[in-house]
Amino acid sequence: MPKKNKKTILVVEDDLDMLEQMSIYLQAHDYSVLKATSQKEGEELVKKNNFDAAVLDLMMENQDSGFVLSYKIKKIDEKKPVIIVTSVSNKTGLYFDKSEDSGSWIKADVIIQKEVRFEQVKSELDRLIAMRS
């Protein structure tokens, strides 16, 4: 029996393999998925669609694309859950978290370091959406 009130997740990721894998995983777990491959495409979907949460890559066409898109989503609805996934720490040694010192300017609710485990993303989505309900 299909679930009523299926939640929609906006996934913005410039790695097409990652985008497809995450989309397939979330769809298999009863989420609808809106997909974009860039900050610009993501911004268009944000303007034109209603969604329940977002999963954003950090570095796309710009080094801070995920932060910018997260900011724009939160400006429209500060309670909409946003997760940023990033490999910045692996590549640069820079680490972002939601601690009080560095977290105040980061508008995402959760930051997950790549290599992403899809079950971790789903678990965070479930938790954040339940908190908002």
Q: Both tokens of residue 71?
A: 């900011």
Q: Is the dihedral of CA 133, 122, 113, 14 positive or negative?
A: negative
Contacts of residue 23, Cβ cutoff 8 Å, sequence gap at least 6: 11, 33, 35
What are the tokens at 63? 């080094």
Helix axes 39-48, 65-76, angle to 10 degrees: 10
Given 3.90.950.10, 1.25.40.80, 3.40.1410.10, 3.40.50.2300, which CATH number is that of 7-132? 3.40.50.2300
Domain parsing of the chain, residue ranges: 7-132
Question: Splitting the chain (133 residues) into consecutive groups of 10 residues, what average pLDDT does each group show?
Answer: 76 96 96 97 95 95 91 94 79 51 66 87 95 83
The structure tokens listed for 73 are: 């989503």
Res 103: pLDDT: 46
- 121 φ/ψ angles, rounded to the nearest 5 degrees: -60, -45
What's residue 64's pLDDT? 87
